[in-house]
Amino acid sequence: MPDLNRIIIKRLLLAWMMVSLLIGTGVFLIESARIDDAVIAVAETESQTDAKRFSFEEIGLKNATPADLIALNQQAAEAVRRNYVEMKGYDTAGALLFEAANPAFERLRVALPKDMVRFPADNAHHVQKLAVAGETVVQLQIPLKTEAGRLAGRIEAIFVVQPEDLARLDAELRRFLIIALLCIACTTLALYPVILSLNRRVVRF
């Protein structure tokens, strides 16, 4: 192989590795951020739907009857089975109205970090993605409203993202990375004959 070909191939390989590293890192960071947003969106959609299942008139701990609290705890026990580690409900004054835990995720509940961020008790919407015991969970705080739409307090919950959702998102990430690297490789290969031809013309002159 002529020295010129060897030099061109070495430089193209070096350029391919550098560009692949830069673009691959960029794609990975962008897609990872998109995956985080998608995970949070899944948790938010599910939790907001479940919050609407709590149908009751405005209740505070001071004026709640035993029957009211039993009904709320039953609704929470039913809701928490839908991919939640635990769920708690507070009235607008911050008093606990109901709480429930999912026995299927007891391992995760025990593993929750003791120094986990506590959202402000402002009855507003807050969300945070966490990794607990090898699982991806989303810590949520969503407003709790009455049937008339009045603010009645808040729900604090830990939502477990399903493995199939994570697998689908990871597959999308890998696909984007492979496509990006293949595009770079094809561009690099296409440049080889162009550069070789230009060098030959230079040599002729």
How much is the pLDDT for 56?
55
Helical axes 163-204 vs 3-51, angle rounded to 10° = 160
Burial group, residue 159, by CB count within 10 angstroms (0-12, 13-18, 19+)? buried
Q: d(Cα 156, Cα 88) in Å, to the nearest integer? A: 5
What is the tens place of the pLDDT at every residue in 21-54? Answer: 888 888 888 887 887 888 888 888 877 777 776 6
How much is the pLDDT for 2?
54
Which residues, 6 or more positions from 126, have their beta carbon under 8 angstroms from its beta carbon? 119, 120, 140, 141
Q: d(Cα 5, Cα 17) in Å, to the nearest integer? A: 18
**Strand, coil or helix: 155:** strand
How much is the pLDDT for 62?
59
133: left (phi over 0), alpha (psi -120 to 50) or beta: left
Half-sphere exposure of 132 (CA within 13 A, CB side): 23
How much is the pLDDT for 186?
84
Q: d(Cα 147, Cα 46) in Å, to the nearest integer? A: 19
Strands (E), the chain: 84-91, 96-101, 126-132, 135-145, 151-160
Whether the CB-CB separation of 28 and 179 falls below 8 Å is answered with: no
Which amino acid, 19?
A: V
**Strand, coil or helix: 99:** strand
Low pLDDT (below 70) residues in the chain: 1-4, 53-63, 123, 147, 194-205
How much is the pLDDT for 1?
45
Strand partners, 143: 154
Q: d(Cα 170, Cα 176) in Å, to the nearest integer? A: 10
DSSP state of 37: H
**Strand, coil or helix: 39:** helix
